[in-house]
Amino acid sequence: MKVLVVGGGGREHAIAWMLNKSNLVDTLYWTPANGGCEDLCENPGIAADDTESLLRFAKGESIDLTVVGPEVPLVRGITDVFNAEGLCVFGPSKQGAMIEGSKGYAKALMKRRGIPTADFREFTDRASAASFLENKTPPYVLKADGLAAGKGVIVAFSQQEAETALCDMFDRKVFGESGSRVVVEEFLEGEEATVLALTDGKTIVPLISSQDHKAAYDDDKGPNTGGMGAIAPAPVVTDTVMGRVMDRILVPLVEELSSLDIDYRGVVYAGLMIKDADPYVVEFNCRFGDPEAEAVFPLMHSDLCDLILRTVRCELNGVRLDWKDAFCCDVVLASGGYPGKYKNGMPVTGVEKAEAMEEIAVFHAGTKLEGDTLLTNGGRVLNIAGTGRTLREAIDTAYRGVDAIRFEGAHCRRDIGHHALKYVT
């Protein structure tokens, strides 16, 4: 069969890498792709948000399955457009994608259904939000309601920080129209983790857990990023916790979506805060996590293409996933200055050396090829994923790969996975 992957980041490289292993896939396309597509698939060079051109390509090439990686085309309704033309596409409908497209919508849904989450209020002007915070004790969590590439969440530890953040959102429009509505939440304490799950609208099949590292610098310091690395599985997500995630969060969510006649066939991303083995929802997303996917997929034995087809065809009932008995640590190598201003076009060396190492996979995120030269082309440049029998082995393996790669200004966190070691040693 012919398969098209939409998106250009590390998550999409990991998806294409998994699909390339499937015996079901004869021809693989990935667009707009990046420097990692060479020798893996064909790149038609269409932007992920150009739905009209993607549709024309899919019909012209008789694509059998389109897998949508990023949230933006899903929130804009690419699934609805493809379905209306009789094309097979993996990802929820526009209505379903609202669980990520609007944090206010998602919070209201959780409140209505009794899904555990932080208490919240939604505001459309700075003065009302600031007045509300005057009667609350910091820290505060401020979230741009719409999409913000994983950077629209600010934890303010003082009234002054909160007021500055509100000014940034409402007045300076640092998140564009996504910040025209702001959700203010209570601060949840605990351990963060992520559970990704496939659902066909009835059956839910959870993947192994993972743990993202959002802050830019070691010890969880600095501004939030799109993610500086991840581990899988997350030791804090015990069997007991996973059971509660299913019973209290994923099952009620899918039941609520079904009751609203929302067609949801795709991924549910549950970003969690776990305290005393009780999970609370920090956020829902409508797609595979990035960089969580890069940590989860290297541990998957199951055929991802088969799983995706079963999801789209509502055939997940009875499916059991097959996993390696191991850990994975994924470290993001970023451009100097990220998540602020950074330069593109820096030559990258050492990727082949890292890929030649045992138990390492390198997923490209922000790269491009000019002739035979690999160049940086984004904030998050590469994901170096190392696997090992223990978490410590996986961490050490990943950083061996990181140390083999060079480009001007490269930086990474050196503590990915370290916090979780206390649960396994």
pLDDT in tens, 377-392: 999 999 999 999 999 9
Listed range (183-192, 239-248, 349-358, 361-370) with the worst mean pLDDT: 183-192
Q: Over range 344-362, report the average pLDDT.
A: 98
Query: How many other CB atoms sit within 10 Å of the CB of residue 415?
Result: 16
Structure tokens at 308: 């995706």
- 191-226, pLDDT tens digit by residue? 999 999 999 999 999 999 999 999 999 999 998 899
Higher pLDDT, 194 or 150: 194
- pLDDT recorded at residue 78: 98
- 42-82, pLDDT tens digit by residue? 999 999 999 999 999 999 999 999 999 999 999 999 999 99
DSSP string, 214-281: -EEEGGGEEEE-S-SEEEES-TTS-HHHHHHHIIIIIHHHHHHHHHTT----EEEEEEEEEETTEEEE
- CATH number for the 119-186 domain, one of 3.30.413.10, 3.30.1490.20, 3.30.70.580, 3.40.1160.10? 3.30.1490.20
Query: Does residue 291 surpass a pLDDT of 90?
Result: yes
Confidence of residue 425 (pLDDT cuts 50, 70, 90): low
- Contact predicate 299/328, CB 8 Å: yes
Residues belonging to the chain? 425
Distance of CA 71 to the CA centre of its chain: 9
Q: In terms of DSSP bridges, do strands 65-68 and 89-90 run parallel, antiparallel, or are they unpaired?
A: parallel
Q: What is each CA distance from 54 to 31, 69, 159, 229, 308, in whole angstroms?
A: 9, 13, 46, 30, 19
Structure tokens at 417: 């996975």
| CATH 3.30.470.20 intervals, the chain | 191-423
| CATH 3.30.1490.20 intervals, the chain | 119-186
Q: What is the rounded distance in angstroms from the CA atom of residue 338 to the CA atom of residue 344? A: 11
Q: pLDDT averaged over the chain?
A: 95
Query: Does residue 149 surpass a pLDDT of 80?
Result: no
Q: What is each CA distance from 388 to 235, 358, 369, 410, in whole angstroms?
A: 14, 10, 31, 25
| CATH 3.40.50.20 intervals, the chain | 2-93
- pLDDT recorded at residue 265: 98
Query: Does residue 300 surpass a pLDDT of 80?
Result: yes
Fold of the domain built from segment(s) 191-423: D-amino Acid Aminotransferase; Chain A, domain 1 (3.30.470)
Higher pLDDT, 106 or 133: 106
Q: In terms of DSSP bridges, do strands 191-199 and 211-212 run parallel, antiparallel, or are they unpaired?
A: unpaired
Bridge partners (DSSP) listed for residue 273:
192, 280
What is the model's pTM?
A: 0.95
- 302-348, pLDDT tens digit by residue? 999 999 999 999 999 999 999 999 999 999 999 999 999 999 999 99
Confidence of residue 353 (pLDDT cuts 50, 70, 90): very high
Q: Locate tokens 């960089």: which residue?
A: 291
- pLDDT recorded at residue 133: 86
> Residue 417: CB partners within 8 Å, gap ≥ 6?
211, 229, 231, 329, 391, 394, 395
- pLDDT recorded at residue 154: 87
Q: What is the rounded distance in angstroms from the CA atom of residue 425 to the CA atom of residue 245? A: 25
CATH number of 2-93: 3.40.50.20
- 235-261, pLDDT tens digit by residue? 999 999 999 999 999 999 999 999 999
Confidence of residue 12 (pLDDT cuts 50, 70, 90): very high
Q: What is the rounded distance in angstroms from the CA atom of residue 332 to the CA atom of residue 117? A: 29
Structure tokens at 159: 């009234």
